[in-house]
Amino acid sequence: MESSGAKPILTFKEAALRSGLVTSKKWKRAVAIAGSSEEAEVADALIRSGDVTEYQSNQLRGGRTKFNLGPYLITGWIGQGGMGQVFKAVHSVMGRECAVKTLPLEKLTAESRAAFVREIRLQAGLDSPYVVRAYDAGQDGSVHYLVVEYVPGTDLRRLVRSNGPLTMNHAALVVSQAAMGLQYAHDLGLVHRDVKPGNILVTPDGHAKVSDIGLAGYSFGGKDDPRAGKIVGTADYLSPEQIRCPSAVDPLSDIYSLGCTLYYVVTGKVPFPGGDAKSKCRRHCEQTPWHPRKFSPELSEDFVDVIADMMEKDPAKRIQSATEVVERLEPWSTTALEFVDRPIDRRSWTQPPPPKEPPQKELAAGRESGENSESAHSGGLGLSDGQSVPGSMSSANPVMEPLLESSRRPSLLLPISLTLAIAVPISLLFGAILGVVINEWLQR
């Protein structure tokens, strides 16, 4: 039982009106649409009319009324980020969709605040089509927030989990774009440190962007970084040198992690599954993963070689830059472009071309050439059962058989006429000669 001093939970209607998302007029309209004042039905009507989102509706039904962080209206929940929660939002004036990363009050320590401010400043200086951009930052009460580009779609980890491993072409296209984003960061002296499928966002049309670059560290300097000397990253994708000497990481560590990511994308498996983080770290340093073709036999050896060169344990033997990754994947990434951002043709069959000549002329041409093979007249049309083409000469069509039979009979008239034209004069000549011979014989 709640104590007498407990704050009462607002009803859905009270929360909706207090939040400012719903006016009294909108509420009455939703009740009329729903035909009921039941909470669930009115909530559904408000969602259908676009007055609230599903996320907002769920929050209102829980009695929560605050949906603003500065000028940003929270419309949905995206997930848990490296620092705090990530929300989908829209700017109340500009109407631009964005993602808002928050640092909640319970995590607000001197160290976490310094790291969050550091991320904001790093992110603000990045401008690449292959990196999630930062738009704004601010503080609302005790909540610090960072506003970044909203990327529609999903991350690479969720994509593989829902759809299975990607083909070589699609994997190469996505990872190549991520590599271009990493090269941009490396050129600025940054190392990501936590490259993994969950930090590569993929849009529905196949474009990829690297996220959480702001959590990266400078490859040189960085003495003020509170994470200096600590392992930063995810155990499934850590490079051996990150594990052995965290303070000595450089861009080649990101190449190894991107190789592990590519391994996961085409196999659906992390390089070293099972075990705890300590076990995974040991295997990254001492063991080699299963051959990718064990899980995806269709992978070519050339493609597998690229993964192996990215995951080389010795940094000196590893692919030496993200640009080189792009070049090595080019044979597959360029051919994947034809599958991206193309409209889908919903027709089941390719339509046959119109006949070049009227059907009767086609029949006459057939009589002259004597060709009547099925391959000559029905190939390449892709017809389904029961379909026919006007003027077709396929002998498999019973409707055409009488026409074909009648077309064959006139072709015998010419030989018969020629035979008679030759035989009749010869027989007449032979008869005349025979008559003369018999007449002379009788006169003797």
Question: Which positions make up the binding site for ATP?
Answer: 101
Helices (H) and strands (E) in the chain, counts: 16, 11
Residue 136 CB partners (closer than 8 Å, separation 6+): 98, 146, 147
Binding site residues, as ranges? Answer: 101
C-beta separation of 137 from 147 below 8 A: yes
Q: Which of 194, 212, 236, 254 is catalytic?
A: 194
175 vs 13: CA distance, rounded Å: 48
- How deeply is 47 buried, as exposed, middle or buried, from its count of CB atoms within 10 A (0-12, 13-18, 19+)? middle
Tokens of 293: 């073709």
Q: Is 194 among the residues known to form the active site?
A: yes
Backbone φ, ψ for residue 379 (5° rounding)? -75, 145
C-beta separation of 428 from 412 below 8 A: no
Residue 88 CB partners (closer than 8 Å, separation 6+): 55, 74, 75, 76, 77, 78, 97, 98, 99, 100, 150
DSSP 317: G
Neighbouring C-beta atoms of residue 345, cutoff 10 Å = 7
Tokens of 334: 């360029």
Active-site residues, by number, are: 194
